Amino acid sequence: MKLDILAFGAHPDDVELGCAGTLSKSITQGKKVGIVDLTQGEMGTRGTPQLRLEEAQKAAELLGVAVRENLGFRDAFFVNDEIHQRQVIQKIRAYQPEIVLCNAYTDRHIDHGKGSTLVREACFLSGLVKVVTQNDQGADQAAWRPKLVLEYIQWEEITPDIVLDISGHLEQKIRVVKAYSSQFYNPDSQEKETPISSSNFLESIHYRARNLGRLIGTEAGEGFTSQQTLGVGNLFSLLSVTS
């Protein structure tokens, strides 16, 4: 299955929080989208790994992605080495995405920065023909390098290199995020409070998107950074949002 966009997250819910609006918009435009979670989020204070997997599946169904997988890396303790890189490369080559979205390059949770670097480096290595990997059936995979890798923004207020207009998709993003009912604000929950379980955090998803939209003259937006130089083929393409 070839995908247009493959979004990676260190934990189930990272992708939803960082770029669910972008994925929702892309899917309505006819793009084929997939998600790969690196870990099961088993070190999370609230919920259980099994519950997180169920919530991730519910979120995937709400969003309408073509595929969602979990690589089962160790939450909080995975590393950026050849073993982990090869597993990510295998997924990149299996789905051959034009665009890869990954965790913030730096953030409060150490897995986010680690996951970002791991995925970005795997995207480069995936294009090297002498890096040999096999698919699930044992056949050699063809080299593939995504044309664009972007990092979504998470806890930290990072200045984006690009903001995508997600007008009309913010409420869908909120619905998808709320699929993780064990993790976010629930006044009836008896579990320990965490930085992301407050009502303030849930509200921040909304007002951050609104503010990014304000900056580009639209209803809502999602921001991304890039370690590669971004280019456009026509200056008038930059007028498509605000004109």
Q: Determine the 3-state secondary structure of 230 from DSSP.
A: coil
- DSSP H or E run through 150: strand 148-152
- DSSP H or E run through 201: helix 199-216
Q: Is the pLDDT of residue 243 over 60?
A: no
Cβ-based neighbours of 62, under 8 Å, separated by 6 or more: 172, 175, 176, 179
Q: What percent of the chain has pLDDT over 90?
A: 94
pLDDT in tens, 154-191: 999 999 999 999 999 999 999 999 999 999 998 888 89
Instruction: Tell me how far apart the alpha carbons of residues 28 and 49 are, in angstroms, rounded to a whole number.
Output: 30
User: According to the model, what pLDDT value does residue 73 have?
Assistant: 98
Token pair recorded at residue 94: 């299996």
Mean pLDDT (whole number) for 95-122: 98
Check if the beta carbon of residue 45 is closer than 8 Å to that of residue 11. Answer: no
pLDDT in tens, 77-86: 999 999 999 9
Token pair recorded at residue 189: 């929950």
Q: Is the pLDDT of residue 241 over 70?
A: no
Q: Is 76 left (phi over 0), alpha (psi -120 to 50) or beta?
A: left
Token pair recorded at residue 62: 């709400």
Residue written as tokens 């699930």?
A: 136
pLDDT in tens, 16-41: 999 999 999 999 999 999 999 999 99
The architecture (CATH level 2) of 5-239 comes to 3-Layer(aba) Sandwich (3.40)
